[in-house]
Amino acid sequence: MKPPFEVLVGRIETLALDAVVNAANRALAPGSGVDGALRAAAGPDLTKHTSRMPPLTEGEAVITPGFGAPAHFIIHVAAPIWTVPGPEGEKVSGLARCYMSAIKMAASRGFTSLAFPCLGTGNFGWPRGFACAIAVTACEQALAEAPSLNRLLFCCFTEDDAKLYRAGLDVN
């Protein structure tokens, strides 16, 4: 595995890093999955904070404090929904932008550690292997402009997802 990448099976809301990435919806409204888990860890102040923020465009990143979560900050991104009709290329670009804009946000603040969930593969319906390939490629590209990041984790909910990321990063 090429540094700074790590793949782990775990729960992103338990990670004590500079920032973790939230798989948010465009309205930044409370959701399920990663969003629900991060909101539970962060406490009600996160929802109070995001309720005052404008909606996200697909691929855009915004940052909030981690509040009660172990991570210092939460970077929220909204992936395109795979199952909604539209050009595949635009959806792929939108998902890649999620990773790239989160890394850019982290680098702009000098963060050294960042964790991503498997963006888009839950309620947004992205095929897991396809989304993984986009994630790995986008992160490799974005890290060239993010010298402070020396630890980038793909936090997978299942071992099956982790196998995809290990294969994408060419590790056993």
- By annotation, the residues acting in catalysis are 35
Strand-pair category, 113-116 with 151-156: parallel
- Angle among Cα 35, 39, 40 to the nearest 5 degrees reads 120
Of 162, 83, 70, 165, nearest to 122 by C-alpha is 83
Dist CA 142 CA 123 (whole Å): 26
Cα–Cα dist 142/70, whole Å = 25
Amino acid identity for residue 2 in this structure: K
Work out the number of other CB atoms within 10 angstroms of the CB of residue 13.
23
Instruction: Give residues with Cβ within 8 angstroms of 53, minimum separation 6.
Output: 28, 62, 64
Whole-angstrom distance, CA of residue 38 vs CA of residue 74: 8
